[in-house]
Amino acid sequence: MMKSRTLFFTAIGLLILGIAIFTFSARNQAPTQIFPATINRDCAPWDGSAFTVSIPINDGTMIDISIWKAPDIKLPVTFSFPDNTGQVGNASYRLTSDKYEQLSGKVFFQGVDEGSAVEGKFELVTEAGQQITGQFKAEWGNLVMMCG
């Protein structure tokens, strides 16, 4: 009887300790920055429908996320880069010198509907290993692309 009581109180103590550690570690994390962005229709390499989200980061650098699908994604979706299939899209980091670096990581879209703001988040890494994370809210631009 005494042994089971000791185990019970030890388990309760560990549970409370775990909750406290989680609560304090979550409290110390900086909130994820929400970047204003622009989304435009684009063309996939095979001249199919696509869209590109451009996210200004800082000092003239920009993340460009091109998804080679029509901008009518109804459900939340995550895309991973690099895209070894050549069918999904591309994520790149545009430096102030107009040089591009490929990015690796994930981009999440809440959904994509042309004419409505598009929200999502990204967890990307540059070729040099710099991590770039955040959320974005993209408004539709007026860039017209003629595919085909």
How far apart, in whole angstroms, are the C-alpha atoms of residue 25 and residue 114? Answer: 38
Nearest to 30 by CA among 125, 138, 134, 136: 134
pLDDT in tens, 16-34: 655 656 555 544 455 567 9
Residue ranges per domain, the chain? 1-30, 34-140
How far apart, in whole angstroms, are the C-alpha atoms of residue 87 and residue 112? Answer: 18
Residue 100 has pLDDT above 90, yes or no: no
pLDDT in tens, 60-72: 899 999 999 999 9
Would the pTM count as exceeding 0.85? no
When pLDDT is cut at 50, 70 and 90, the band that residue 78 belongs to is very high
The pLDDT of 79-93, averaged and rounded, is 92
Q: How many CB atoms lie within 10 A of CB 97?
A: 8
